């Protein structure tokens, strides 16, 4: 089977060529933005789209968005040196779960049988209160067969 380069497929039809051109333009704008913005802010943001002279940037949190909005005039002037068609920047916050948060499994701590007995004895000694209810529920949950 002959091997074909992906570029050949991307230029095979008008729709794929337009999509490929748009992706290349966004990549070029992303690199220009990365060079124009302060490194710490550029790493926490990315180019989402470019339409009618407006560069759409998404950021990880509101603090980065606020700082980018303050620096917009300076960033636009730097970008316009390489991309004169950029006339404005719109910054929006798009919170995503970090890889660390998404991959952490939930874990249940096991309580030893001796500790459960001690908690049961404590709950029997104290008067009716929210603490007694909590201890009773804790003992009941951990007494179930595993």
Residue 137: pLDDT over 90: no
Q: What is the pLDDT of residue 101?
A: 57
Q: How far apart are the first and last CA of the chain?
A: 56
Q: What is the pLDDT of residue 100?
A: 53
Other C-beta atoms closer than 10 Å to the C-beta of 55 total 26
Q: From CA 125, how far away is CA 51, in angstroms rounded?
A: 71
Q: From CA 83, how far away is CA 106, in angstroms rounded?
A: 47
SS3 of 46, please?
Answer: strand
Q: What is the pLDDT of residue 105?
A: 62
Show the tokens assigned to 25. Answer: 């333009």
Q: What is the pLDDT of residues 2-58, one digit of tens each?
A: 566 776 766 777 888 888 888 889 999 999 999 999 999 999 999 999 999 999 999
Evaluate whether 111 touches 142 at the Cβ level (below 8 Å): yes
112: confidence class by pLDDT, cuts 50, 70, 90: confident
Evaluate whether 91 touches 69 at the Cβ level (below 8 Å): yes
Q: What is the pLDDT of residues 57-88, one digit of tens each?
A: 999 899 999 999 999 999 999 999 988 999 99
Q: From CA 143, how far away is CA 145, in angstroms rounded?
A: 6
- Name which of 96, 141, 146, 93 is nearest 120 in CA terms: 141
Q: What is the pLDDT of residue 146?
A: 46
Residue 144: pLDDT over 70: no
- Name which of 31, 40, 46, 51 is nearest 91 in CA terms: 46
Q: What is the pLDDT of residues 97-111, one digit of tens each?
A: 664 555 556 666 778
Q: What is the pLDDT of residue 3?
A: 61
DSSP letter at 73 equals: H
């Amino acid at each position: 089977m002959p091997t074909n380069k992906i570029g050949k497929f991307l230029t095979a039809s008008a729709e794929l060529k337009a999509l490929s051109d748009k992706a290349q333009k966004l990549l070029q704008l992303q690199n220009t933005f990365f060079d124009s913005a302060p490194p710490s802010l550029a790493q926490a943001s990315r180019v989402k789209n470019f339409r009618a002279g407006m560069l759409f940037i998404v950021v990880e949190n509101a603090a980065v968005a606020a700082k980018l909005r303050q620096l917009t005039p300076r960033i636009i002037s730097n970008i316009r040196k390489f991309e004169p068609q950029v006339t404005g920047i719109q910054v929006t916050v798009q919170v995503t779960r970090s890889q660390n948060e998404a991959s952490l499994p939930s874990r249940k701590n096991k309580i030893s049988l001796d500790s459960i007995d001690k908690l049961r004895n404590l709950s029997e000694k104290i008067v009716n209160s929210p603490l007694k209810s909590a201890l009773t529920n804790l003992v009941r949950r951990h007494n179930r067969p595993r």
